[in-house]
Every structure is written in structure tokens, then in C-alpha cells.
Structure 1
């Protein structure tokens, strides 16, 4: 079990403080059955983490907490959704690290005391806009993993997005990436069918700049796959509109 504590402590910066850190301390303490010396580092006050930048571990922990919120949103925990999260972590980190992540995830998903708003406030204070948008992309992928995004899941992700201060246009763009209809391409580019070609080109260039995978390089190569998928959706949307308009 000490290996578990060592894993969770590696690469975590600001997530070790605030409400997330307090929850981590409790959950790790429960997993280690009272071995407080192995998790006391998570019992920090706000002043100890306010200046830390986002590390890969911070993003990883944020994913686990917010994934649990979305999975529980419709009142049932589906195996397909759990499998998606687990497979995502296996692909990114390997089986051993994914196993450790799920030891923690089991505790998070059964915890009813943690405030989603408080968690999002901590994330928002320390994570870049690009990284926060990537969290929303991942949450929609979880919701879609059972083949259908329930209305309550959309509402939950919308609430998380609001807490993270992601503007509505960006939220709608990410959401559209998980729907296949004639309006999706325009929504992804944050434009409408009535916009002229020049407006659409400018929107595309702006989104390419904002969502380029290089902006998430600080999170490590394991997190770039999701960023590349989102970036590809933007490119595909533009190609769809170009073909439709004969550009």
C-alpha cells in the first residue's frame, strides 16, 4: 500500500492543497488503513499551493474527481463508463499506474461529501483555459461511452463548465464534437450557417491556435492524445464546411 501513497504523491502540485487535497488525505488514509505518515503531505493549507503550476498529476487527479461527478449524474454507475475511464488511464499511464488510480477512484465515486463547485474553484484557480477545456472534452467522452449522452449528464457537464469559467461558445463547440448532425460542424467552429466564408475562416484559425496540442505539452505526452482528438475534430469540421460551400 505504501507504493500507492508514493504514486499519488508523485507529480502532484496544487492538487495537494485545498478541498481536493483534503479529500485525497482522507481517501488515501482510508486506503492505507490509518497509515497517516504516508499521506500527511496532503493536509495542507491554501497558502502552500497558490503559486504552483499545473503538473501532470494535478490534471490526472482533476480527471478522477470530475469523472466521478459525471458518472454519478444519472443516478446509476454503468460499467461501460467505468471501463472507459479505466481504459483511458491504462492507455495513458500503463496498467500499474491505472490500477493505483482506480484504487483512489473507487473512494472518490463513493464520496458524497465533496462539493463539485469547491473542486472546480480550485481547478480554475490553477489550471489554464486550454487544460480546463480538455477536461470538458474528456467528460463528454465518458458520457458518450455508453452510446448515449443523457440530458442529466449534459446538464452536469454544463455546470462543471460554468464553475470552471469556460464560456458558452467553447462549451457548445466541445459538446458538438460528440453529436453527428448537420449543425455540428458549425457549432464546433463556434459559427452559424448564416456567417460568411471569411468569418468561418477566421474562426477556424482562432480555434486552431487556441486548441493546438502544443498548448498542453506541459501535461506530458500521455495527455496529448485527447488534445489531438479535439484538434482533429476542429479540422474535420472545417473540411466539412469547406466541402459543403465549395471553398
Structure 2
């Protein structure tokens, strides 16, 4: 139940990346609720330590905090972006409680992106981690532009999340525009031949086509659909540029 509520709220507020994130958090809550109903032995099988739903929220908020602080300044716009998501997803009272707990916990220990990502790697699929990167880039872009330090920090997080460099570059290109944006989205070099470009487009189209994503998770399919549109747009841009 929680996974669909989270997905709908996330989609309404932050489009497809928000839907994925909401579904991911809700799924975690649903899974933990079912596990608790079966008894403590099941929980021990899931992880070495007892995990509560709040752990997912706090780890997510920690990653958001890392990105917001990456450029050395705390942007109010970026903070509002994150707060709005949490308030709309959990309600004002629970969101405030999450933020209070987050502040108390991180007075006592330093936030470790590597530790957080190790936690998430054990509990999420690759497709979900790609959508998490989308959300982090959305936070970085909330104040108008993604700074180099923010992009570098998200790249570091992507490494901890075991996201392939080419996939990271493709997602980054959807937020950080350059002369080579269309080529980066297709994961090729500007020097690629026309045949290589066509082959790359077919490969990426198959990779992100909603019908080809191997999952019954509708939220993940929506995320793939958004990336599929970006791939199509990139190919059309190159076609126009080269007169193909």
C-alpha cells in the first residue's frame, strides 16, 4: 500500500524521478511491515541489524544533505525542494520528526556516503539506484544550475551505488547541458560515425524502452519511459546536426 501512495505523491510533485523514489521508500516500509509481522528471525535474515522504516528515510535525507552541501554553500532553494518532497510524502508532522532525528543523529557522527550506499545496495535494484541519481541531480539543479562540485559529489555517490560510469554520464547529460550532450546521452563520442550513432541509438532505445525493462514495477517503467524520450530527443538532435 505505502509503495503506491509514495509513487503517486512523488509523481505529482517531482514527475518520474519522484515517483521512483516514492515507490522505493514505500516498498521499503511495506517489506519491513511484512517482515515484522512474521517475527524477529525474518528481520535478522534481512540484515545484521534491526532496520526500521525510518532508516530508509534518514539515509535518503543524508544523501540529500551531502549534495546540498557539496558546493560549500547551503542553498535555500535546494533545501526547500527536499523539504517539500518529504512534507508531501510523509505529512508535515512526520517530516518534521524525520528532520529532527536527522539533526540529532548527525550531531553525533559524520555522514558517510559510502556507508549509506552500501546499505542501499543491499536493498535496491540497479534501476532504482539510477532513479535515485536522477533525484539527486534534481536537487542540485533546483537553484538553477548543477555546480561542478555537486556533479562531482553525485559521481562519487554513483560509484558507491555501483552505477556504471557510462550510465552516470548519460544521466548527468540530461541535467548538465554541453555541446556534446546528445552524444553523452547516447553514450558515444562526437567522433562516432553515422553507423555507430544509429547503432548506439538502437542499443539505448532497447535498453530504456518501457516494454523492455525487466520489471513489473510500474514506477520504474515510467522512469525508463522518461529516459527513452531523452534518448529519442538526443538522436533527433544529432540527426538534424548531421543531416541524417
Whether these two folds match at TM > 0.5 is yes
Partner of 1:38: none
CA contact (8 A) 1:74 1:150 kept: yes
Q: Which of the numbers 162, 165, 174 marks the counterpart of 1:168?
A: 165
Structure 1 position 65, deviation (Å):
3.2
Gaps of 5+ in 2: 1-25
Partner of 1:48: 46
Query: Is 1:108 matched with 2:127?
Result: no
Q: Secondary structure at the match of 1:123?
A: helix
Give deviations 1:157-205, integer Å, cap 9, x for gaps.
1110111111211111111111232210001111112112222222223
Partner of 1:124: 121
Gaps of 5+ in 1: 1-6, 17-40, 51-55
Partner of 2:138: 141
Give deviations 1:21-67, integer Å, cap 9, x for gaps.
xxxxxxxxxxxxxxxxxxxx8xx65x3348xxxxx999866543321
Relative to the length of structure 2, the TM-score reads 0.67
Q: Relative to 1, partners in 2 of residues 1:131 and 1:9: Cα closer, same or farther, differing over 3 Å?
A: closer
What CA RMSD, in Å, does the superposition of the two structures yield over aligned residues?
3.6
Q: Secondary structure at the match of 2:170?
A: helix
Partner of 2:29: 10
- The count of aligned residue pairs is 204
Partner of 1:186: 183
Partner of 1:26: none
Structure 1 position 13, deviation (Å):
4.2
CA distance in 2, matches of 1:142, 1:123: 19
Q: Does 101-110 or 153-162 show the bigger shift?
A: 101-110
Relative to the length of structure 1, the TM-score reads 0.67
